[in-house]
Structure 1
């Protein structure tokens, strides 16, 4: 027998499917903590940072994020929060609702650099780096992509060779978030025994990280090149637990999971901006929210937004249960980023000319998502991952 209508909660335009009912009190507390931090520390300034093309307070923000437990959230020990995958996802959503650059900084710190050291590093490396990284005292970066090798990391040219117990590292990495402010770089290189990872202190002679400028996306973010010119490292700089591409690819999979949630944060910000604008903007004597075409746009945006949030939540539960597959992460990344971009573009049409102004978040999110669409695996790569899973045929080199 169904419950009486009087017991039903009123319809919430911001949570039309009642997804909050799936969250525990602890989940909501994590979400609200990150949301409040982003509202107070990022939203008042991010349009200016974006316009200037810089993130001038990144070190300060990193320490604050460390203080609320947002760095390396799902990792355990070494000062990490040991949060659930769903809680980490909720944090990513709230961070990217502020700006993709902020979520990227946190993702690279925790899901790439810290995750690599936590999973593949020695105990000495974990003790040396992770507590300071979790506190935001040391920022990390992750060097895999090269100028000529993005989607095909197996062809990387960065090389490390042994020399009397040391390693000598040469090569270049490109499009590296946090690079020029990092204290440690996790760098992947070819060796005689396959691809290996190294924890490289960025003050090591021969290492440099020139910042990349003239970006039209992720402007409130530090993006750099990494240059290694005869960088000599002690033997214990090697991450002992990873040999082959499986190491860096597992890190990328962890980061992609955060993107599945984060993209919905950017989409939510644009949807809410469009909804508020439509209610207040008047044309032909009434709010544009009263016109059928506008309502159709808002309805379609809401459907895709909350479908994406449900998908992210489902993948998070699978990750917490230890049953999440890489193909499922590709499913989420492919769908959610693609739909988020479409939501942003539709929101821009509702705002009209105001949609291109930094007084509103829409164009900033839309341009940021153009980067999110292709980093951590392009659309085509995730389509081929799913295609291989569906057909059993590898088409990557077809």
Structure 2
């Protein structure tokens, strides 16, 4: 079904209508084929860029859409309801633009930001490492400054990079000193000599967009590509995490909404014991619980987004939204498979794909165990 959204402006309503049109005509018809064949959808991100869907939460002066997070997240949800892999990559691209937008110099912004926001170049985020996921302060990938300070030589590996090997630029967080204040941020182009990528991970879901490791072997990065001050890397990385968590919350709600829609449609067609199965109370109540979970999860991310837009503290709310939405997505998609019965366990229907895709939302942008830690610490401090 089409979600009846309460949007703040006519412009926002037009944007959602545009998103639905693009998602239905460009994404939905090819999603299943690319997910099954595990092939990258060439040209899709250029189309999204031309439609202005890759720059929504950024200022117009740099080519952005100047949309509130309340609206941007609902666009992500609409994309995810058709194709989660694409929506995740859009969220990651937005995350990858944040360091330059928030911490870059005017010269750096003028040089790179218009292409990034216009969709001419697609970005990726390189924070995690094979032995440093949730514990970002344990990063080992090292960037050593040259004697004249004009460049850095990077050695080490990064892991779990969405769009790895395909993205045009990478926000690299590498060690330039000791301790948690010894991390710096760099904007690294894909064609940097000494930068290579591992084979795509064999994932449970999100097959159409690759996730890879990156390896730096004496890769030289110009000092002009350092974003922010030396040692400011973790501040930059953490400043974007709350926004990134809201992006994943919205994606999770989109996945859950799609599963609910499919389950309701199937339950209205399938008959058992002389009645549509939706008319059996046991199944009708299951669908009702699924709908309540989706609506509650959407309300959670919208509450956090509105706090962000109003300039209020929202870190705890972002963690709550990420936790609630992704747990809801896992339950709703699992229940959708149950509604389909044996057919739900086959690849003839997309609910099994939605169930596989929902799982990763509980893991990336901070596992749900990390979200519980953030929330509990906020409660301890009275936030």
Give the corresponding residue for 2:38.
53
Q: SS of 2:204's equivalent?
A: coil
- Aligned: 1:89 with 2:73: yes
1-structure distance, mates of 2:291, 2:195: 47
- Aligned: 1:313 with 2:296: no
Mapped contact 1:53–1:215 kept (Cα < 8 A): no
1-structure distance, mates of 2:313, 2:18: 27
Q: SS of 2:62's equivalent?
A: coil
Give the corresponding residue for 2:198.
210
The one of 25, 32, 35 equivalent to 1:40 is 25
Mapped contact 2:201–2:210 kept (Cα < 8 A): no
The alpha-carbon deviation at position 391 of structure 1 amounts to 2.2
Mapped contact 1:72–1:115 kept (Cα < 8 A): no
Q: SS of 1:185's equivalent?
A: strand
The alpha-carbon deviation at position 22 of structure 1 amounts to 5.0
2-structure distance, mates of 1:122, 1:337: 36
Mapped contact 1:270–1:344 kept (Cα < 8 A): yes
Give the corresponding residue for 1:73.
56
1-structure distance, mates of 2:348, 2:53: 28
TM-score, normalised via structure 2 length:
0.94
The one of 85, 99, 113 equivalent to 1:130 is 113
Q: Deviations over 1:319-375 (max 9, x none)?
A: 111114211100100011001110111111111122133343211111111111100
The one of 287, 292, 299 equivalent to 2:281 is 292
1-structure distance, mates of 2:197, 2:210: 11
Aligned CA RMSD, in angstroms, stands at 1.7
Give the corresponding residue for 1:370.
359
Q: Deviations over 1:124-157 (max 9, x none)?
A: 2222222112222211111000011111010010
Give the corresponding residue for 2:164.
179
Stretches of structure 1 lacking an aligned partner (at least 5 in a row): 1-12, 394-398
Q: SS of 2:86's equivalent?
A: helix
The alpha-carbon deviation at position 392 of structure 1 amounts to 3.5
Q: SS of 2:29's equivalent?
A: coil
The alpha-carbon deviation at position 14 of structure 1 amounts to 6.2
- Aligned: 1:276 with 2:276: no
- Aligned: 1:220 with 2:208: yes
Structure 1 stretches of 4+ moved >6 Å: none
Q: SS of 1:104's equivalent?
A: helix
1-structure distance, mates of 2:365, 2:240: 10
Give the alignment of 1:221-260 within 5 angstroms: 221-240=209-228, 243-260=232-249
1-structure distance, mates of 2:201, 2:378: 38
Most deviating of 222-231 and 211-220:
211-220
1-structure distance, mates of 2:204, 2:303: 33
Q: What is the number of residues matched between the two proteins?
A: 375
Most deviating of 47-56 and 352-361:
352-361
Mapped contact 1:93–1:264 kept (Cα < 8 A): yes
TM-score, normalised via structure 1 length:
0.90
Mapped contact 2:194–2:219 kept (Cα < 8 A): yes
Mapped contact 2:81–2:257 kept (Cα < 8 A): yes
- Aligned: 1:191 with 2:182: no
Give the corresponding residue for 1:28.
13
The one of 76, 88, 105 equivalent to 2:89 is 105
